[in-house]
Amino acid sequence: MHPILLEFGFIKIFTYGLLVASGFFTAILLASHQGKKEGLDPQKIIDLCFYLLVASLLGARLMYVVVEYKYFIAHPLEMFKFWKGGLVYYGGLILGMIVAVLYMKRKALPVWKVADILAPSIAIGQAIGRWGCFFAGCCYGVKTDVPWAIVFTDPNSLAPLGIPLHPTQIYLSINALVIFSILIWLRKRKSFDGQIIWAYGVLYSIGRFVIEYLRGDDRGYAVESLFSTSQFIGIIFFGISVFMFISMGKNRTGSSLSPK
């Protein structure tokens, strides 16, 4: 693949950064459009997305640094070079959720209604951004002999070179695209606010958990040789999502949750 898309002297445009940015931009456009359709101030949605962008990048990078702390202790300056690859999605999701709730309460936005607006945008942003991982070579898969295996040859790639690997980045992108399609379908049929965001939580946790078993990069283990850090967090996230989906569906109180 091509981790560096263009290079002009000392100026380098990394494919990873460009595609991640494209994913965020697409997500913001979709969220602001849907917010306007549902009677919300699109500027507030755009502002929220900006804070989410910063929080999610920071959270995802911090989680990656924690997981790969041995490397970053030896190379401390590398922790700031996020455009080269190296983000843990759940770290970004956790910090992003905290910042989003604080912002929505401050701006008197209906929490679950806005969360439902954001959910499909998160999924499509992931679907695009994961191609950045593919071009950078991060989040690579284990060695395999399947016909669609990918062999990385670019010396700037983060993946092992010359070895056929599972294209887990593409699996993750397809997983996100499928989730996006389901959420768009569900959006026209939802019966309570909060249904879309928690459906996202259930679907993403399952897909990510399965794909993690095909990952070959060092992601750290919460339970040695059993569950990676992301799988362990995913189990918790899955449990919370199922509980909230069922309890809010029974009570039909999701739509009434708004800042006081």
Determine the average pLDDT of the residues in 13-37.
90
As beta bridge partners, residue 161 has 152
Task: Indicate the pTM of the whole model.
Answer: 0.85
d(CA 174, CA 180): 10
- pLDDT tens, residue by residue, 46-70: 999 999 988 988 888 888 887 776 7
The torsion angles phi and psi of 68, rounded to 5 degrees, stand at: -105, 40
Angle between helix axes 168-187 and 111-136 (nearest 10 degrees) is 160
Contact 133, 16 (CB under 8 A): yes
* Full domain range(s) for residue 235: 4-256
Give which of 62, 65, 63 is closest to 75, Cα–Cα: 65
Predicted pLDDT of residue 84: 58
> For residue 86, what pLDDT band results from cuts at 50, 70 and 90?
low
Tally of CB atoms within 10 A around 18: 16
- pLDDT tens, residue by residue, 188-216: 899 999 999 999 999 999 999 999 999 99
Give which of 19, 5, 13, 50 is closest to 176, Cα–Cα: 19
Number of structural domains in the chain: 1
The torsion angles phi and psi of 221, rounded to 5 degrees, stand at: -120, 130
